[in-house]
Amino acid sequence: MEEIKSVEARATAGGSRVGGWKTPARPPERLAASRRAMPEWRAEAPLEKDVDLLRGVRGLDAEAQFRLAEQALAQIRESVVVTSTELDEPGPAIVYVNAAFTRMTGYLPEEVIGKNPRFLQGPKTTRKTLDRLRAQLQKGEAFEGEDINYRKDGSEFYIDWYIEPLRGADGRINYWVAVQRDVTERRALELQLLQAQRLEALGLLASGIAHDLNNVLAPVLMGSDFLRGKVSADGEQFLPLLEEAATRGAGLIKQILSFARGIAGDSGFVEPARIVDDIVRMAAATFPKTIRVVANTAPDLWSIEADPTQLHQVLLNFCVNARDAIGESGTIVIEARNVAFPSPRATVRSEMRAGRYVLLSVSDTGSGMSMETVKRIFDPFFSTKTPEHGTGLGLATVALIVKNHGGAIDVQTAPGEGTTFSVYFPAATAPAPVVKALVRNIPRNGGGRRVLIADDEAAVLEIMRETLASAGYDVSTARDGIEAIAAVSEFAPEVVLIDLNMPNMNGGSALRELRARHPQLPVIAISGLSRSEIEAAAPEASTVLEKPFGLAALLTAVGDVLAPRD
């Protein structure tokens, strides 16, 4: 008892050191309240009973042992919380915290001593974990788990924690000691890895779907070309509609594939109006019909030097968020215009330098956001959506893209008043190069040249055969790689068109076999994948064709590979 009174006297008179730093002096009544939060036996038990728990350095008396333990607890990174043992209401009370607890939570010791630790819990703290914790403590067993706690400022953080009983010499539990480690960063890395794995799986799925859908669109696109001049005037007027629909579908597939696989184009001069038009078409095709998507692009927009795929990603993310905020019905407006700032300007994310910018903005009539939410929307893994509908990575990725392009982001919003996301991309310092259209004569007279087509899609095979035959080529067909190799020996084609994805023997394997047997034979690799993926899968090909392609692209590719042999 004398030792305890001595410690109390020092704390009351001049403050005490908790975790290696000094806390303000506390009045006797507050200290008495802390003592009342401890188990009854604590006031009666001799100090030496607790000192037994700390023994391990020879030659140190009890006071030195405590100072050593205090210094050690102050230096460790893990939060240490010691509580009393009551499990019934009002529950255990905190009797000690170390310095790491304050660094981790923002609470000072005097703010938490005597309180139940449940004030650290919040909306996302797992009820199942808490029930398991209580069940194990009631049995006097140690506990270990992971959960979410909340700092003094309301922000959440992940903890890896365990609780052990501190027993006296008589074997009774005198205190519980909880050790908590902040694993928020580790959790973020795990979620990033999980997201990367999900995107990889999505990319593989997208490749297969893209190939199949492009096989569906290929006959439509080639057929609309093939039927020109062969149908009545009434039928002729529908052919441009078919061609436009097939081309639009192919563009949507290509964008989805690019986003899913992370296939980014090279940076270059980009016309913002085209990006806006692409996003409007994609949103109109995929969003509910009750949500109107409107474009408002100014004339004579400056060019941007950027990666077009990433610009698509930025605007598409804003539009998806707008759709979710709107709910059943509303309006999304995508705007593009030139702006110039004679002096630096502050935004919610950074400060923009003076200069010329292209402003791209997405406004919605949705629910809007509070300023507290706006402060965190660009943080990785922060999301106002449920886990099934959002990962919290979208706006963080957008912020990184904009930063890498030297731009800035701004947000205007209020609860119930909708939201406007604005991104400012530096205007290109040089004018975009003018690309003159190359006028070419499409070879339409095959002159009986022999062409072999290998594709397992019957519709694609038939329309390609009819197209080339109508252009004067002698055409033979095969339905897999094995048939293609045999047909080359029998038919002796002057050029082979081979699809890369076929049964029995795929096109890539068949192409390599043909190269080994007939090194001078021109081979055109065709696929529903992107051009870069086709080239990577079939480096031996003379050239490649991305499905769906039209009559002009098909005849030009065949004519080009045959031209050197003329």
Give residue 53's pLDDT.
Answer: 45
Task: Identify whether 255 is part of a domain.
Answer: no
Q: Indicate whether 7 and 128 sit together in one domain.
A: yes
Q: DSSP secondary structure string, 226-288?
A: HTTTTS-HHHHTTHHHHHHHHHHHHHHHHHHHHHHHT-PPPPEEE-HHHHHHHHHHHHHHHS-
- Determine phi and psi for 450, rounding to 5 degrees: -90, 130
Task: Identify whether 248 is part of a domain.
Answer: no
Quote the DSSP letter at residue 20: T
| Number of neighbouring beta carbons within 10 Å of residue 14 | 10
Task: Identify whether 257 is part of a domain.
Answer: no
- Confidence grade of residue 258 (pLDDT, cut at 50, 70, 90): low
Give residue 257's pLDDT.
Answer: 65
Residue 224 has pLDDT above 70, yes or no: yes
Task: Identify whether 463 is part of a domain.
Answer: yes
Task: Identify whether 436 is part of a domain.
Answer: no
Residue 61 has pLDDT above 90, yes or no: no
Is the CB of residue 269 less than 8 Å from the CB of residue 258?
no
Residue 22 has pLDDT above 50, yes or no: no
Give residue 66's pLDDT.
Answer: 75
The domain that holds 354 is classified in CATH as 3.30.565.10
Q: Indicate whether 470 and 415 sit together in one domain.
A: no
Domain span at residue 46?
2-182
Task: Indicate the helix (H) or strand (E) that contains 198.
Answer: helix 184-226
Q: Indicate whether 463 and 412 sit together in one domain.
A: no
Residue 232 has pLDDT above 50, yes or no: yes
State mean pLDDT over 500-511.
Answer: 90
State mean pLDDT over 469-480.
Answer: 93
State mean pLDDT over 197-217.
Answer: 75
State mean pLDDT over 161-169.
Answer: 89
Q: Indicate whether 411 and 464 sit together in one domain.
A: no
Nearest Cα residue to 218 out of 564, 534, 550: 550
Residue 45 has pLDDT above 60, yes or no: no
Task: Identify whether 202 is part of a domain.
Answer: no
Q: Could you tell me the pTM of the whole model?
A: 0.50
| Number of neighbouring beta carbons within 10 Å of residue 243 | 18
Token pair 């001799």: residue: 46
The domain that holds 130 is classified in CATH as 3.30.450.20
* pLDDT tens-place string over residues 241-251: 787 777 777 76
* pLDDT tens-place string over residues 308-347: 878 888 898 899 989 988 988 999 999 999 999 988 887 7
- Confidence grade of residue 55 (pLDDT, cut at 50, 70, 90): very low
Task: Identify whether 142 is part of a domain.
Answer: yes
Give residue 384's pLDDT.
Answer: 65
Give residue 442's pLDDT.
Answer: 58
Mean pLDDT lowest for which of 97-106, 228-237, 320-329, 523-532? 228-237
Q: Indicate whether 540 and 491 sit together in one domain.
A: yes
CA distance 83 to 476: 84
Residue 274 has pLDDT above 60, yes or no: yes
Give residue 371's pLDDT.
Answer: 83
Q: Indicate whether 27 and 166 sit together in one domain.
A: yes
Residue 96 has pLDDT above 70, yes or no: yes
Residue 494 has pLDDT above 90, yes or no: yes
Residue 90 has pLDDT above 90, yes or no: no
Mean pLDDT lowest for which of 10-14, 52-56, 429-433, 490-494? 10-14
| Percent with pLDDT over 90 in the chain | 30
* pLDDT tens-place string over residues 101-133: 999 999 999 999 999 998 999 888 888 888 898
CA distance 215 to 209: 10
Q: Indicate whether 339 and 454 sit together in one domain.
A: no
Q: Indicate whether 393 and 463 sit together in one domain.
A: no
Task: Identify whether 386 is part of a domain.
Answer: yes
Of the three residues 182, 201, 217, the one that is the final residue of a domain is 182
Nearest Cα residue to 483 out of 468, 459, 458, 502: 502
Q: Indicate whether 407 and 479 sit together in one domain.
A: no
Is the CB of residue 232 less than 8 Å from the CB of residue 238?
no
- Confidence grade of residue 170 (pLDDT, cut at 50, 70, 90): confident
Determine the distance from the C-alpha atom of residue 320 to the mean position of all C-alpha atoms in its chain, rounded to a whole number. Answer: 13
Residue 547 has pLDDT above 80, yes or no: yes
Token pair 């004018």: residue: 431
* pLDDT tens-place string over residues 362-419: 999 998 988 888 877 777 666 666 555 555 556 877 887 888 888 899 999 999 889 9
Task: Locate 82 and state its tokens.
Answer: 């010691």
Q: Indicate whether 283 and 425 sit together in one domain.
A: yes
The domain that holds 482 is classified in CATH as 3.40.50.2300
Of residues 541 and 235, more confidently modeled: 541
* Cross-strand pairs, 161: 145, 180
State mean pLDDT over 254-262.
Answer: 61
State mean pLDDT over 552-557.
Answer: 90
- If you average pLDDT over every residue of the chain, what do you get? 79
Of the three residues 379, 399, 431, the one that is the final residue of a domain is 431
User: Which of 24-38, 223-237, 240-254, 512-526 has the highest average model confidence (pLDDT)?
Assistant: 512-526
Of residues 163 and 566, more confidently modeled: 163
Q: Is 127 exposed, middle or buried (0-12, 13-18, 19+ CB in 10 A)?
A: exposed
Of the three residues 368, 396, 431, the one that is the final residue of a domain is 431
